């Protein structure tokens, strides 16, 4: 059997260290560790950005639903004020039929009168007209982003109170 001779190279007086199997493995292990650290950092940043975007989308959706509920409450208050002030049909003694959003409702006949209406856009309002402190009238209108009978867990309520 012939013995293999080791050839050493020298460049400008520098002799490179001999490559051994263990130094090659440790370099591969370090490269793997470094790549795992980089991937972990990139993944953490990506998850952080995703969380921020997700929360912003949730906030914008909640804002939109809140606005729908407020506009529904405003619609109810305006309807009650119109029929009380302009037409004089909400009386504490005589019942009347009024129309809000193309729906007829019975009001009046008692000092406190209540009605609710589901709107065509999927929202609703519930109005209470209080005439117990005559001549002062108080209107409380509650608007919802869902139909009035809904049990949706994301139901939003906004209210307007008007006294005149």
Task: Express each pLDDT in 111-149 by its tens digit.
Answer: 999 999 999 999 999 999 999 988 899 999 999 999 998
% pLDDT > 70, the chain: 84
DSSP 8-state symbol, 7 = P
Q: Which stretches of the chain are DSSP H helices? A: 21-81
% pLDDT > 90, the chain: 65
Mean pLDDT of all residues in the chain?
Answer: 87
Quote the CA–CA distance of 107 and 104 in Å, as a whole number: 10
| Residue 11 reports pLDDT greater than 70 | no
Task: Give the pLDDT confidence score for residue 128 in this predicted structure.
Answer: 97
Say what the pTM is.
Answer: 0.67
The pLDDT tens digits for 28-43 are 778 888 999 999 999 9
142: how many CB neighbours lie within 10 A of its CB?
Answer: 21
DSSP 8-state symbol, 84 = I
Confidence category of residue 71, pLDDT binned at 50, 70, 90 = very high
């Amino acid at each position: 059997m012939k013995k293999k001779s080791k050839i050493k190279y020298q460049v400008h007086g520098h002799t490179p260290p001999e490559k051994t199997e263990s130094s090659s493995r440790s370099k591969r292990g370090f490269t793997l560790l470094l790549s795992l650290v980089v991937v972990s950092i990139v993944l953490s940043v990506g998850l952080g950005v995703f969380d921020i975007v997700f929360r912003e989308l949730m906030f914008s959706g909640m804002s939109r639903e809140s606005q729908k509920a407020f506009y529904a409450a405003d619609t109810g208050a305006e309807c009650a004020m119109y029929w009380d002030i302009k037409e004089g049909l909400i009386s504490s003694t005589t019942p009347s039929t009024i129309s809000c959003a193309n729906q007829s409702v019975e009001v009046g006949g008692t000092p406190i009168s209540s009605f609710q209406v589901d709107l065509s856009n999927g929202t609703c309002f519930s109005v209470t007209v209080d005439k117990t402190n005559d001549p002062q009238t108080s209107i409380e209108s509650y608007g919802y982003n869902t139909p009035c009978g809904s049990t949706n867990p994301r139901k939003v309520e906004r209210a307007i109170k008007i006294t005149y």
